Amino acid sequence: MEKMILLNPGPVCTSDRVRSSLMKGDMCHRESEFSAILSNTRKKILQLLRQTEITRLQSLPAPALLHWKPVSALQ
């Protein structure tokens, strides 16, 4: 296998886990792996915010940012 070089700004102490993730190919938002990661992330955010199951997360596009907003299903 050809040796790959990571050309990110530095010097930075990057863990092996991060380096190995950066070497993987891109992931499409339509892939099942992406859906699983997104679902797991949403569950963790709800736990962090101490929200109930009737709350859903709504992603809102913004320049270079992704905002997460808890929205009550009872509104």
* 4-50 per-position pLDDT tens digit: 777 777 777 788 888 888 888 888 888 999 999 988 988 888 888 88
* pLDDT at residue 25, rounded to an integer: 83
pLDDT at 6: 72
State yes or no: pLDDT of 66 exceeds 70.
no
For residue 3, being part of any structural domain is answered with no
Give the Cα separation of 42 and 48 in Å (integer): 10
User: pTM (2 decimals)?
Assistant: 0.48
The parent domain of residue 44 ranges over 28-72
Residue at 66 is within a domain: yes
What is the predicted pLDDT for the residue at 64? 43
Residue 12 lies in a domain: no
With respect to residue 5, please indicate whether it lies within any of the assigned structural domains: no
Residues 6+ apart with CB under 8 A from 57: 42, 45, 46, 68, 69, 70, 71
- Residue 15 pLDDT: 86
Q: Is residue 45 part of a domain?
A: yes
Q: How many structural domains are present in the chain?
A: 1
Q: How many CB atoms lie within 10 A of CB 70?
A: 13
